[in-house]
Amino acid sequence: MTSALELHDVTKEYSGTPPVVALRSVSLTIATGEFVAIVGPSGSGKTTMLSIAGTLERPTSGRVVIAGSSVERLSDDELADVRASEIGFVFQRFFLLPTLSTLDNVANGLLYRGIALEERRQAALSALKAVRLDHRADHRPSQLSGGECQRAAIARALLGDPKIILADEPTGNVDSAQGSEILELLSELNSDGRTIVVVTHSQEISDALPRTVRVRDGKVESDTGSKGDDNGISSA
């Protein structure tokens, strides 16, 4: 099995007085098709880990490998290309644009791929069907519940057909019933073969996932490890 995501000796330091070290020499390999939870207390560096893995920021030192190729030599524009085609992001606060309909918010997932609006909307509609939200396509995000917003955001992340989905506290702003629905949705995507990394506070989620990486003070404290080709949540 090839690796989807590798961090090698990644250190991230934020300048300031004194400088803040968010990650200290973190190494982590996530294989294609894995479903991984990253847990840890607030400020432990797990969100930094996710944004470095997603090329949203560069490590101070260390290497990041995405789908087998090292990204540290890539320019900012090339990193944008990687995000456009390889990675889907899901955020705790959804980041749906309030002036757009749900459909158009989802269609934005392909905006920077140079695909025509009509085509984007068609793709968005089938993505909304996949997350069982097509009946809300014409609603504004303000008319949706938190869980519905997150499902729309997942549909948007899915639109570019990324191999990797990085989710930062995807259930942080939704109630528990909707939270388990979100988790179910993510595990469906995982069974389709996508690699999914979830940063979470929730013990329930991490218990449900096949692999849990525990982070503390910028270091990996424990890692339940890869369970071979056992990708499904069902066996956990």
Partner 1 sequence: MESRPHNKSAPELTGRSHLRARDLWGLATLGLRGRPGRTVLSAAGIALGVATMVAVLGISNSSSAQLISEIDSLGTNILTVTPDPSLAGNTAELPTQSAAMVRRIGPVNAASALGGVGSGVDVYRNDRIPSVNTNAISVYAAQTNLLATVQGAVVAGHFLNRATSHFSAVVLGADAARSLGIDRGDGSEQVWLGSHWFAVVGILDKVTLAPELDRSALVGYPIAKQMLGSDGGPVEIYVRADPTSVNAVASVLPASADPAAPQDVSVSNPTDALIARADASSAFQSLFLALGGVALAVGGVGIANVMVISVLERRSEIGLRRALGARRVHVRLQFVAEAVTLALMGGGLGAILGGFTTAVYAAMRGWSTVVPVSALGGAVAAAVVVGAVAGVYPAMRAARLAPSEALRSA
Contact status: 93 vs partner 1 (CB under 8 A): yes
Residue that the structure tokens 């389709």 belong to: 192
Contact status: 61 vs partner 1 (CB under 8 A): no
| Main-chain dihedrals φ then ψ at residue 37, nearest 5 degrees | -105, 135
Site for partner 1 in 195-234 (CB under 8 A): none
d(CA 187, CA 99): 30
Per DSSP, what are the bridge partners of residue 29?
6
> Which tokens sit at 109?
């997932």
Cis peptide before 98 (omega within 30 of 0): no
Residue that the structure tokens 């098709």 belong to: 33
Among 9, 27, 41, 117, binds partner 1 (CB under 8 A): 117
Sheet holding 195-200, edge to edge: 87-90, 164-168, 195-200, 35-39, 211-216, 219-223
Among 83, 136, 211, 214, binds partner 1 (CB under 8 A): 83
CB nearer partner 1, residue 123 or residue 198: 123
Point out which span in 188-196, 198-206, 218-226, 227-235 binds partner 1 (CB under 8 A): 188-196
Residue 1-20 contact track with partner 1, rule CB under 8 A, x = bound: --------------------
Among 5, 39, 64, 67, binds partner 1 (CB under 8 A): 67
Contact status: 161 vs partner 1 (CB under 8 A): yes
Using alpha carbons, select from 109, 228, 235 the residue that is nearest to residue 160.
Answer: 109
Task: State the number of binding residues for partner 1 (CB under 8 A).
Answer: 55
- Beta-carbon contacts of 116 under 8 Å, excluding residues fewer than 6 positions away, are none
CB nearer partner 1, residue 16 or residue 76: 76
Which residues of this chain interact with partner 1, rule CB under 8 A?
Answer: 32, 47-48, 51, 54, 56-57, 66-69, 71, 74, 76-78, 80-86, 89, 91, 93, 95, 97-100, 108-109, 111-117, 123, 126-127, 129-130, 155-156, 158-161, 163, 192-194
